[in-house]
Amino acid sequence: MEQHSEGLKVMVIDDSKTIRRTAETLLKKVGCEVITAVDGFDALAKIADTHPSIIFVDIMMPRLDGYQTCALIKNNSAFKSTPVIMLSSKDGLFDKAKGRIVGSDQYLTKPFSKEELLGAIKTHVPDFVPVEQAS
């Protein structure tokens, strides 16, 4: 089942409007369908409705942080296999380890580049084909 990026559903969960907008712009340019959420609670409702193929989640958020959100996603049998990539402005070993413990599949440090974002998708959604290869 080849999944072209046409309609590849990518969720970006971040309380920063700038980060959400940046990720959304980059991902839409390569043909992804982007679902954004402002925090974990917002995301959990949207995940159930939209079934994204991959989820990017910020660690530091109000109400429900990235670790709690990731743990809830990974503990749900319907979404256990959905790749979750943690986003953080902190590059600490402790944060990366904690991310692994709650089940995250990868860790990206903010600010991330287009290459890092697309690289993470290609790693976890191997049949992902960006629409425009030229930058």
Instruction: Supply the pLDDT for residue 129.
Output: 87
Cβ atoms of 67 and 59 closer than 8 Å: yes
Span 85-109, pLDDT tens digits: 999 988 788 989 999 999 999 999 9
CA 85 to chain centre: 5
Q: What is the three-class DSSP state of 109?
A: strand
Is residue 134 in a domain?
no
Domain CATH number, residue 16: 3.40.50.2300
Q: Which domain holds residue 58?
A: 6-122
Cβ atoms of 41 and 64 closer than 8 Å: yes
Total structural domains in the chain?
1
CA 123 to chain centre: 13
Q: Is the pTM of this model over 0.85?
A: yes
